[in-house]
Amino acid sequence: SNSAIKPLWGDIRTFQLGVSMRYIASDKWTLFGLPILRYTTEKGVDLDEGREFGLLAGASYRFSDKLTLGPGLGLFSGIGGEEDIFPILLVNWKMTDSLSLETGRGTAASRGPGLALKWRPSTQWEFGLAARYEKTRFRLADELGNIGQDKSVPVVLTANWKYKRSFTLTALAGMETSGSLSLEDRDGNQLYKSSYDAAPLAGLVASYKF
């Protein structure tokens, strides 16, 4: 059903672990792997009820100092018996000394990398325009153990400030487009589905590399 439905859940919490692995096979080929363990549930439900496993993997080929390109694959096994497989594009294209098109990281609980156009006017500052596909599934705090799902395509402007290569502060603002919400029973059978209008998003992310 595409009819509008009232909110069917409250606050959603998520916890994620991932280990990024990279292997330089030669001066041209690089292999990439990212296994992911994620827990996502509505507040009031044990995180273990919303467990899913994922793997992002691929290979990139360095055509020149300015272009690296390659295919990849994402696999997720989650709640409700979901099995999700999708292609990934790995790209790093340095169009100029300060402008590049790259595979971008997520702004939320993401199923795979998106694309980001980045401008670096200095070593400390970086500005970008990024778009990606987001899909989040979570166990609900109802008696039936139903499953909620949120899908959208966020388009985001970012401003990134770096301090001494270890500390990074990123401000982001944009819109979630092509959004849809759905409700499934505990076995993954769809009960309701509703699209929603473009919605604003904003955030502040701090990271530190050891």
Each residue's pLDDT tens digit, 142-152: 888 899 999 99
Q: Which of the residue ranges 99-108, 126-135, 170-179 would you say has the lowest mean pLDDT?
A: 99-108
CB 173 within 8 A of CB 160: no
> What does the pLDDT average to over 40-58?
93
pLDDT of residue 52: 93
pLDDT range class, residue 110, cuts 50, 70, 90: low
Strands 134-139 and 125-131: unpaired
pLDDT of residue 60: 95
pLDDT of residue 105: 61
pLDDT of residue 143: 86
pLDDT of residue 165: 80
Share of the chain above pLDDT 70, in %: 93
> What does the pLDDT average to over 47-61?
93
> What does the pLDDT average to over 128-133?
92
Distance CA(174)–CA(103), nearest Å, equals 18
Contacts of 7 (CB under 8 A, 6+ apart): none
Residue 47 DSSP code: G
